[in-house]
């Protein structure tokens, strides 16, 4: 879904550059996200997608360029302060505690929130319901399916007060059915007004949601548009096939 373009972008990356030693992982990336957007970041492995996410939430500070939230330069703001602004991320690497139950994992995540928790059981039940995990609260996280664990990751990210949700490969390792279910979850969250940015690898996931797309390649914005335009782009096909 496209957000409200009549307003200023809620999030703006301006020439964001991040280097690791001699490697420029993110190279002058510009990105405008509007309130209510559903935006996908795609591109081959090593394109810099996860690094862009980490500069948005503050795990990396850009070497140059700015991260702007509602007109404010937050490039050097600490991650916990950005979390208070409403940034919430599901990283590419798992963050679920396998030896805790689904409900206990949620309690840990909920405890990160600063205030406004009046009925924790209800809040946890609501979040689990949003991702289709109601009824498995008492199961050990190690015992639920891979797909369910990925949905739990999303529920954990939803435990805080979210304004901008960032999901790094939420359908990694999923079956096609689970991927469609994940698309349904994301569509519903976006329909409720949440601004969502998703990193994805496969086009089937993108197809299920028809979002705005930014293609990254070698740390740079390669092209932007809707899926129909992206798919017709021969150069995009080539970078996905590793020919460039
Ligand atoms: P993507 O998520 O698109 O696969 P990444 O953002 O993870 O790409 O990585 C982009 C490039 O930066 C890769 O070459 C990767 O090896 C490198 N890189 C990512 N994180 C680090 C790090 N913490 N230290 C050194 N190099 C890194
Ligand atoms: Mg990545």
Taking CA atoms only, the protein residue closest to ligand 1 atom 23 is 20
Would the pTM count as exceeding 0.85? yes
Type and span of the H or E element at 221: strand 220-225
* Range 7-35 average pLDDT: 97
Cα–Cα dist 166/199, whole Å: 8
Kindly state the average pLDDT of the residues 163-175. Answer: 96
Mean pLDDT on 147-175: 96
What is the full DSSP assignment across 65-93?
EEEEETTEE-TT--HHHHHHHTEEEE-SS
**Ligand that comes closest to the CA of residue 91:** 2
Report the relative pairing of strands 195-200 and 164-168 from DSSP bridges.
Answer: parallel
Tens of pLDDT, residue by residue over 50-91, are 999 999 999 999 999 999 999 999 999 999 999 999 999 999
Per-residue pLDDT tens digits for 172-199: 999 999 999 999 999 999 999 999 999 9
Residue of minimum CA distance from atom 13 in ligand 1: 46
- Ligand 1 within 6 A of CB of 48: yes
Q: What tokens appear for 54 in the block?
A: 């980490």
């Amino acid at each position: 879904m496209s957000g409200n373009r009549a307003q200023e972008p809620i999030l703006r990356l301006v020439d964001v550059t991040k280097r690791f030693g001699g490697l420029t992982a993110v190279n002058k990336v510009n990105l405008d996200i509007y309130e209510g957007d559903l935006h996908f970041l795609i591109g081959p492995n090593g394109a810099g997608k996860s690094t862009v996410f980490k500069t948005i939430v503050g795990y990396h500070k850009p070497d140059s360029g700015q991260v702007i939230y509602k007109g404010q330069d937050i490039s050097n703001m600490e991650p916990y302060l950005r979390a208070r602004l409403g940034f919430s991320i599901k990283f590419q690497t798992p963050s679920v505690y396998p030896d805790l139950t689904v409900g206990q994992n949620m309690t840990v995540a909920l405890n990160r929130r600063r205030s406004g928790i009046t009925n924790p059981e209800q809040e946890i039940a609501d979040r689990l319901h949003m991702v289709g995990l109601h009824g498995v609260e008492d199961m050990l996280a190690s015992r639920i399916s891979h797909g369910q664990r990925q949905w739990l990751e999303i529920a954990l990210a939803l435990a805080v007060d979210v304004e901008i949700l960032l999901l790094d490969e939420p359908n990694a390792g999923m079956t096609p059915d689970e991927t469609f279910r994940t698309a349904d979850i994301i569509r519903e969250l976006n329909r409720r007004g949440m601004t969502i940015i998703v990193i994805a690898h496969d086009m089937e996931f993108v197809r299920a949601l028809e979002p705005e797309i930014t293609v990254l390649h070698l740390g740079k914005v390669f092209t932007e548009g809707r899926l129909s335009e992206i798919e017709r782009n021969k150069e995009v096909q080539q970078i996905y096939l590793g020919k460039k």
